[in-house]
Amino acid sequence: MPATDTQRTIDAVWRIESARLIAGLARLVRDLDLAEELAHDALVIALEQWPQTGIPDNPGAWLMATAKRRAIDLLRRKTLYQRKEAEITREIEDQLDMSAPRPDDGIDDPVGDDMLRLVFTACHPVLGTDARVALTLRLLGGLTTDEIARAFLVPEPTIAQRIVRAKRTLADANVPYEVPHKDRLAERLASVLEVIYLIFNEGYAATAGDDWMRPGLCEDALRLGRVLAELMPGEAEVHGLVALMEIQASRTAARVDASGMPILLLEQNRALWNQLLIRRGFAALDRAVRLGGPPGPYTLQAAIATCHARATSAEQTDWPRIAALYDTLAATAASPVIELNRAVAHAMAFGPQVGLDLVDALAAEPALRNYHWLPSVRADLLGKLGRHDEAKAEFERAAAQTRNARERELLLARAAACAVRES
């Protein structure tokens, strides 16, 4: 295999296996930072050896066995771990002896338990949102610090500091490497789902920069969501989030034109929507519903996305159904952003003046003070009511608030169109 092919294969293996590798090592050494160090040591050894020896039949198991041997060597040398060296080393050696590890052996069980521990540790609420996102992408997404920095348009040293501080915060707070007890599971799971959806949304509609979308982040979030759904099959909201992301991701090819300019939902060519992702989304939503209980916010949003996906044209969209779902969502998980989306749904279902009244009621919301979608939605509704001069001013206000260059171009173009209609 040519060197470049081997490198690409190693990169792919790392992206797939790194989270399970770090999760398994963290269970053994009880130290997240050390687990990541050992995993990267194994990767370096693979980069040195695999181009000469070839890719093992089971590369994940090869990396795990190599990292465990490295752990034993490291723990024997480091005085920092003297007190627990014998215990941990004996545990690792026992596992190595029992499994008689070879490069083609399977990775240790229980992989699911290890992954869940890692998910709940990386997304622990003791960390700030930015730290949770960075640590999750690093440990569970397999992204490098540079990749995370480029994805969020943040200097690489900033991301590196966030990750280091996040690990230190977890250590200082003595956060246990465990899945929380069932009486705290809902609270902690909400944090995990929030992080995954934040990653997806940054890819779906980038907050800043020159690109409207960053599909790589959507793919990372989808992969994390699918893994979590396998690990927690009995949690309806996990399937609800996966359904929501699958259906939203299905629109990717239709959301920008050839020059990269955004295309709004009602103007998209629905023939470009990915039917495989839509079917996957429907199946995930069905699993969420079959689990029973009142639908959570992600399941409700997935149901809204399903209404769009089932409509073969914008005109066939069941807006009264969407408005009713938003009413339920607003009662379940009230927030100014949800109320703004609810206003849009009511405008489409019952007329622009109904929507405008709901939007104007949100004008004093502090959380929406610099949220560019508020003047953008208001501008759209004003335009539909024939108040083009006011709509132009609102589109311009929205353009001044957004930090995404493509979105700014779109909003200014819509403002210019209002000026033409007014004249």
With a pLDDT cut of 90, the percent of the chain lying above it is: 60
User: Cα–Cα distance between 36 and 19 in angstroms, integer?
Assistant: 9
pLDDT at 309: 98
Does the pLDDT value for residue 103 go beyond 60?
A: no
pLDDT at 392: 97
Instruction: Locate 112 and state its tokens.
Output: 């699911």
CB 277 within 8 A of CB 247: yes
User: Cα–Cα distance between 254 and 237 in angstroms, integer?
Assistant: 27
Beta bridge partners of 209: 404
CB 401 within 8 A of CB 372: yes
Q: How far is CA 192 from CA 133, 135, 149, 205, in A?
A: 10, 12, 21, 20
In a domain, 306, yes or no: yes
Decide which of 317, 339, 363 is a domain's last residue: 317
If one counts the domains in the chain, the total is: 3
In a domain, 413, yes or no: no
Does the pLDDT value for residue 238 go beyond 90?
A: yes
Residue 227 sits in the same domain as residue 313: yes
Residue 40 sits in the same domain as residue 139: no
pLDDT, tens digit (0-9, with 9 covering 90-100), for 262-291: 999 999 999 999 999 999 999 999 999 999
Does the pLDDT value for residue 79 go beyond 90?
A: no
Residue 53 sits in the same domain as residue 151: no
Does the pLDDT value for residue 420 go beyond 90?
A: no
Which amino acid is residue 176, in one-letter code? P
Residue 148 sits in the same domain as residue 208: no
Does the pLDDT value for residue 140 go beyond 70?
A: yes
CB 207 within 8 A of CB 403: yes
pLDDT at 101: 42
Does the pLDDT value for residue 110 go beyond 50?
A: no
Average pLDDT, the chain: 88
- Look at residues 357, 371, 366, 322 and name the one whose alpha carbon lies nearest to residue 342: 322
pLDDT at 28: 83
In a domain, 168, yes or no: yes
Does the pLDDT value for residue 83 go beyond 60?
A: no
* Three-state SS at 72: helix
DSSP class per residue in 234-266:
T-HHHHHHHHHHHHHHTTGGGSB-TTS-B--GG
Own/partner contacts of 402-409, CB < 8 Å, gap of 24 or more, are 402/372, 403/207, 403/208, 403/209, 404/205, 404/206, 404/207, 404/208, 404/209, 404/212, 405/209, 405/210, 406/210, 406/211, 406/212, 406/256, 406/260, 406/261, 406/262, 407/205, 407/212, 407/262, 407/372, 409/261
In a domain, 364, yes or no: no
Residue 191 sits in the same domain as residue 312: yes
Comparing 153-162, 247-256, 278-287, the range with the smallest average pLDDT is 153-162
Mean pLDDT, range 2-23, rounded to an integer = 81
Residue 163 sits in the same domain as residue 206: no
Beta bridge partners of 404: 209
Which amino acid is residue 266, in one-letter code? L
Does the pLDDT value for residue 80 go beyond 90?
A: no
Residue 170 sits in the same domain as residue 212: no
pLDDT at 91: 64
DSSP class per residue in 141-200:
S---HHHHHHHHT--HHHHHHHHHHHHHHHHHTT--SSPPPHHHHHHHHHHHHHHHHHHH
Residue 156 sits in the same domain as residue 196: no
Does the pLDDT value for residue 318 go beyond 70?
A: yes
Domain that holds residue 288: 187-317
In a domain, 210, yes or no: yes
pLDDT, tens digit (0-9, with 9 covering 90-100), for 116-139: 889 999 999 999 999 999 999 898
Decide which of 269, 291, 317 is a domain's last residue: 317
Q: Cα 260 to the chain's mean position, in Å?
A: 22
Residue 264 sits in the same domain as residue 192: yes
User: Cα–Cα distance between 205 and 249 in angstroms, integer?
Assistant: 11
pLDDT at 200: 94
pLDDT, tens digit (0-9, with 9 covering 90-100), for 181-218: 877 888 889 999 999 999 999 999 988 888 889 898 99
β-pairing, 403-404 with 208-209?
parallel
pLDDT at 2: 58
pLDDT at 90: 63
Residue 198 sits in the same domain as residue 300: yes
The pTM assigned to this predicted structure is: 0.82
